[in-house]
Amino acid sequence: MNYVPGTASLIDDIDKKHLVLLRDGRTLIGYLRSIDQFANLVFHQTVERIHVGKKFGDIPRGIFIVRGENVVLLGEIDVDKPCDTVLQQVSIEEILEEQRQQQQTKQETEKVKMQVLKDRGLSIPKADNMDEY
Amino acid sequence: MFRFQSLDDDCTLEEEDDGLIEEEDEIDQFNDDTFGAGAIDDDWQEEHKRLAELDERVGLGGGEVEGEVDSGGSKPGSSIHRPSSSVNPPLQSSLPPFGFSSSSPGLPPQDADDRAREGGLAESLARLILEADPAIAGVGAAERPRPSPSSSASSLSVLHSLDQPRVLPQSSSIPHQRQPQLPPGPITSGLPSSSMLSYQQQQQLLRRGTAPMGQMNSHNIWDNSMSFGPVSVSPGLVTHMEDSPLMSIIKEGGLPKRPPQGRSDEGRDLSERVPPPRSSSPVIGSPPVRAVPIGTPPKQPMSHSLNHQIHHPTTVHVRAPVPHRYPAPFPERLSPNTLLNIANSPLCRGPFAPRVGPVLSHLQRAQLLNSQVAGFPRGGPAPLLPGGGFRPFFGGPPPPHGHRMCPPPPHGPPSHIPVRHNTTHLHPQHRRMLTQRMQSRGGDRGRTGGDRSSRDPYSNLMTQKEKEWVTKIQMMQLQSTDPYLDDYYYQNYYEKMEKRQDKERDISSNSKKEHATKLITPQVAKVEHTYRPVQFAGSLGKLTVSSVNNPRKMIDAVLTTRSDDEEKREKQVWNKRRQILYTVEKMYSLLLEVQDFEKRFVQTPEEEREALLEQHKTNTEQLSSSLMEKEWDHRVSDELCVMIMSVRKGKRLVARLLPFLPSSQAAAVVMAIARNLPALAKKDKQDQVLGWLVEPLSPVIQSLSSSALTDLLQELQGGEGQLAVVLQNKFGVTMLYLILSEGERMQSCDPNCQLMDDNRWTELVFSVTRELLSVPASSLSPPLFTPPNLLSLFSRYVDRQRLELLQDKLQISASSR
């Protein structure tokens, strides 16, 4: 029960299935078991879901403790609603393979792009590096 | 109570024990001292006499008594707390002569046996020991716990007595090496139900038949303790360490010290989070350190914190604090660890059984809580996964024994019943809405949520207390000392809503209720949080102690405020405009204080209202005097006035200021404005904001007396050509009209008005009309609004022709607004 309407509180979300997107791009699905004032989250029966194209794969991870600052967004999953109608679930190995391929192609295109830019005298820093600073 | 017939058994048991000595050497020290070589130390008769309760044991045979007394006497210095002693079954039965003076001799032997077992070996032995020790006998006499029929209660009472810290003077010389090193084999062999009876108990049982399970339970405590290896010794308790079972138990338990240690352990655990003590004197240099940092989550009664003390992991049963944690009637909300202990203690749980861990895992805790919440004992461990499909981690659930053994708890508050937080800082309207919402949601949730939570075994891992704690932190962040400052829109929103509701209520009920002034909830008192480092008076320099709260200043610069004289001197140096702005700002802050006075007045408590009132008066005085001339009290300084009004903000200031000034001063201000209108008009050319003044001006003008009004008109006309300038300025025209209209109103409403007494007014009006007619229409600026009674005014003073001219020029007509 949210005691202060007009504020956001995670108390009502406890023990419900949630999907959380982390800053590093991971998607976790699990039962939210505990929170604290920094919105650090404790997930139970967590599953990391990797999406590649229309396929996805679930990697069971167990118990996760997520530091609050790394959460991008968090939302409750309706367990009654049918899910994954469009998406196709595949095995872990397959999805990891797909992911690896995806990363590879991305890297290659990036490399080509950088080369082309370099030829023209431009150098644009990679976006994912900037995240570090 | 113990029966005398049991003495017979004793004798045989003694023999048996002696016979067993050869078989198991290590475990017989205790026995040896009791019945063997070591038992002949003391004068049993002395001992006997000392024990007051022996008076009643009339019928004892000498030999038996001897034997018993021996056993009693063999432990003269036993200083173990009663329940902590491991019991030699033969001793148990030998207790009656020493034990219960109040025991009635007439009970059948069966009862005796049962009770003997039920009472707890420990209890009986402890009693014996304590009585043997003269130092304790007196103390112990009054407080002997009665063995109760229910085993769980007995174990509880035992635990209770564990709680009462007893200072035991001497260490025990009870040697009983057998028990700590009891191998599992002999224990588990030969007995159907219990798996961890001590050797002696085994013997006893063998002879007496298998005791019912429940009765065995009381021994479990000792069984566990007996299986322990050497553990950390509680200092100060035992002076010489013997490898006796009792000693081992002491070591294991450190019992009298356990409760405070338990707590200090928790305190210590939490205080680990406190920053380490500083090398420099902390007292002087910094504020007191909180033992428990503010961000600490609520304490759980952590039984495993005690584990740190005890090296052996499965010592859960001898938890001294456990009985503290729950009052005798089953409380609504038990901590899960407590629940576990309740659940497990009566059960037979072998120390060698494969254990997940002594601490109730969160899962168990949650399950127990679930059972508590759901209100029914849960049969199986397999949780039904809600919603299906989310299976990955259902690791081995713990055996369901905990659930069955839970005594039916009173229905604990389900998680969806909201707990009343402290809502005093909320607006009362807000609070009302809150309660409404809670009620409605509580109804909804009860239908759907409860069902779901009953299927999820992992729910309620976060206890209600923890939830409240998090909410409390969130609410703390909302507290404020000045709500109008911190959350202006929130306050206004709720005020508006209230007003709207009141209006609706009024409309619907058709009653014109007197608007009772609603007291807005008082806010949290402002607490001085600034930390001032300690300073010693008269010392040279400052303290060199620095801490996180008062870091050392690099430059110790002391600000000296400049006096007003210096300010005046620097006036010429400053940029004129900056000075103007500065003055305006100062006045503004005063003005804001004055304006907020009312709101603050309502909020302050009674005691402080006087002070606030005083302050308000000073403020207003200051405000009004700031505009005045230095020498003349009643005349507004033209210079100042023009100065202030030359800035847009200054004009705004004056406009806001006028309502708060006393009438005479307000009149003076208006006069000044009128007097200086040309200058003001000139300065306002760019901003064109003099219009702001119209609104506050009109009530002032309307409150003027007739002579003052005349004066005002005169001022307005002022010197040569002033009126022309006035007429060119929109504001000027408006002001003129206001004055004229006021005059007209005075004349028409009040026949006794003195406006006509001297000719000034008439003359002034004449000149005005002359000017109005002569001024070209183009230069006459339209006023902000035209008062309706101008026509009637002019009709008094001018002839028809001129009237018509005026009408055209000024576009005033009978129906004009």
In which band, very low, low, confident or very high, does the pLDDT at B194 lie, cut at 50, 70 and 90?
very low
**Which tops the pLDDT comparison, B679 or B150?**
B679
Q: What percent of chain B has pLDDT over 70?
A: 37
pLDDT at A72 over 90: yes
Interatomic CA distance for residues A71 and A65, integer angstroms: 11
In which band, very low, low, confident or very high, does the pLDDT at B275 lie, cut at 50, 70 and 90?
low
Which residues 390-419 in chain B show a CB within 8 A of chain A?
390, 392-394, 416, 418
In which band, very low, low, confident or very high, does the pLDDT at B642 lie, cut at 50, 70 and 90?
confident
**Which tops the pLDDT comparison, B107 or B671?**
B671
Angle at B695 between CA B690 and CA B700, to 5 degrees: 105
Position A23 scores a pLDDT of 94
**Which tops the pLDDT comparison, B271 or B460?**
B460
Position B371 scores a pLDDT of 56
C-beta of residue B769 within 8 angstroms of C-beta of residue B791: no
**A27-35 and A71-76 strand pairing:** unpaired
**CATH number assigned to the domain covering A5-88:** 2.30.30.100
Strands, sheet with A88-90, edge to edge from the N-terminal-most edge strand: A71-76, A17-22, A27-35, A41-52, A55-66, A88-90
3 state DSSP class of A33: strand
Q: How far is CA A18 from the centre of its chain?
A: 12
Position B71 scores a pLDDT of 45
pLDDT at B333 over 60: no
pLDDT at B7 over 50: no
pLDDT at B657 over 60: yes
Position B418 scores a pLDDT of 42
pLDDT at B320 over 50: no
The token duo for B258 is 């356990």
Chain A closest-CA separation from residue B391 CA (Å): 8
CB contact under 8 A, B416 and A1: yes
CB contact under 8 A, A33 and B387: no
Position B87 scores a pLDDT of 43
The token duo for B696 is 């506050």
Interatomic CA distance for residues B249 and B230, integer angstroms: 9
**Which tops the pLDDT comparison, B257 or B119?**
B119
Indicate if the alpha-carbon torsion angle B172, B175, B181, B184 is positive or negative.
negative
Position B69 scores a pLDDT of 44
Q: How far is CA B172 from the centre of its chain?
A: 47
Of the listed ranges A15-29, B108-122, B268-282, B371-385, the least confidently predicted one is B371-385
Question: In angstroms, what CA-CA distances link B20 with B14, B28, B85, B254, B427?
Answer: 10, 8, 21, 30, 79
Which DSSP state fits A87? S
Q: Give the nearest partner residue to A4 out of B386, B462, B475, using CB atoms.
A: B475
Chain B closest-CA separation from residue A130 CA (Å): 33
Interatomic CA distance for residues B60 and B54, integer angstroms: 10
Q: Give the nearest partner residue to B462 out of A17, A34, A80, using CB atoms.
A: A34
CB contact under 8 A, A5 and B433: yes
**Which tops the pLDDT comparison, B706 or B329?**
B706
Cβ neighbours of B442 in A, within 8 Å: 1
3 state DSSP class of B85: coil
C-beta of residue B769 within 8 angstroms of C-beta of residue B797: yes
**A41-52 and A88-90 strand pairing:** unpaired
Q: Give the nearest partner residue to A45 out of B392, B434, B438, using CB atoms.
A: B392
**Which tops the pLDDT comparison, A98 or B803?**
A98
Which DSSP state fits B617? H
Position B541 scores a pLDDT of 66
Position A74 scores a pLDDT of 94
Mean pLDDT of chain B: 61
In which band, very low, low, confident or very high, does the pLDDT at A59 lie, cut at 50, 70 and 90?
very high
Position A116 scores a pLDDT of 92
Neighbours of B123 (CB within 10 A): 28
Most confident of B370-384, B424-438, B515-529: B424-438
Dihedral, B771, B774, B778, B781 alpha carbons, nearest 10 = 10
Interatomic CA distance for residues B768 and B782, integer angstroms: 16
Q: How far is CA A35 from the centre of its chain?
A: 19
C-beta of residue B371 within 8 angstroms of C-beta of residue B406: yes
Question: In angstroms, what CA-CA distances link A18 with A33, A94, B383, B386?
Answer: 10, 25, 20, 13
Interatomic CA distance for residues B127 and B3, integer angstroms: 16
Cβ neighbours of A80 in B, within 8 Å: 387
**Which tops the pLDDT comparison, B578 or B394?**
B578
How does pLDDT run across B567-598, given as a tens digit for each residue?
666 666 567 778 888 888 888 888 888 888 87
3 state DSSP class of B377: coil
- The answer, for B476 touching chain A at a CB cutoff of 8 Å, is no
Of the listed ranges A16-25, B334-343, B450-459, B721-730, the least confidently predicted one is B334-343
In which band, very low, low, confident or very high, does the pLDDT at B293 lie, cut at 50, 70 and 90?
low
Position A7 scores a pLDDT of 64
CB contact under 8 A, A17 and B474: no
Q: What percent of chain B has pLDDT over 90?
A: 0
| N-terminal to C-terminal alpha carbon distance within chain B | 109
Residues, chain A: 133
**Which tops the pLDDT comparison, B24 or B712?**
B712
Position A33 scores a pLDDT of 93
Position A84 scores a pLDDT of 65
What is the DSSP secondary-structure string of B281-314?
A: -HHHHSPPPPSS-TTPPPP---THHHHTT-SSTT
In which band, very low, low, confident or very high, does the pLDDT at B750 lie, cut at 50, 70 and 90?
confident
Provide ipTM, 2 decimals. Answer: 0.82
B680 exposed, middle or buried (CB, 10 Å; 0-12, 13-18, 19+)? buried
Q: Where are the beta strands (DSSP E) in chain A?
A: 17-22, 27-35, 41-52, 55-66, 71-76, 88-90
Interatomic CA distance for residues B545 and B541, integer angstroms: 12
Residue with tokens 């690791």: B395
Position A60 scores a pLDDT of 93
Interatomic CA distance for residues B228 and B792, integer angstroms: 113
Q: Which value, in Å, is the radius of gyration of the alpha carbons in chain A? A: 19
The token duo for B519 is 């007291």
pLDDT at B782 over 80: no
pLDDT at B186 over 80: no
How does pLDDT run across B135-166, given as a tens digit for each residue?
555 544 444 444 444 444 444 444 444 444 44
The token duo for B276 is 């380490």
Side-chain-side CA neighbours of residue B777 (13 Å) = 7
In which band, very low, low, confident or very high, does the pLDDT at A106 lie, cut at 50, 70 and 90?
very high
Position B398 scores a pLDDT of 40
Position A41 scores a pLDDT of 95
Chain A closest-CA separation from residue B462 CA (Å): 6
Q: Hey, what amino acid is at B17?
A: D
pLDDT at B3 over 60: no
How does pLDDT run across B498-514, given as a tens digit for each residue?
899 989 888 887 655 55
What is the DSSP secondary-structure string of B114-143?
A: HHHHHH-HHHHHHHHHHHHSHHHHHHHHHT
In which band, very low, low, confident or very high, does the pLDDT at A62 lie, cut at 50, 70 and 90?
very high
Cβ neighbours of B373 in A, within 8 Å: none
What is the domain partition of chain A in residue ranges? 5-88
Cβ neighbours of A1 in B, within 8 Å: 416, 418, 438, 441-442
Which residues 354-393 in chain B show a CB within 8 A of chain A?
386-388, 390, 392-393
Neighbours of B44 (CB within 10 A): 20
Position B729 scores a pLDDT of 81
Position B581 scores a pLDDT of 85
Q: Give the nearest partner residue to A4 out of B297, B459, B474, using CB atoms.
A: B474
Most confident of B348-352, B544-548, B574-578: B574-578
Of the listed ranges A28-42, B424-438, B781-795, the least confidently predicted one is B424-438
Chain A closest-CA separation from residue B267 CA (Å): 21
Position B609 scores a pLDDT of 79
Determine the average pLDDT of the residues in B70-76: 45
CB contact under 8 A, A79 and B387: yes
Under an 8 Å CB criterion, which residues of A touch B?
1, 3-7, 9, 11, 14-15, 17, 31, 33-37, 42, 44-45, 47, 58, 60, 62-63, 79-80
The token duo for B35 is 């019945």
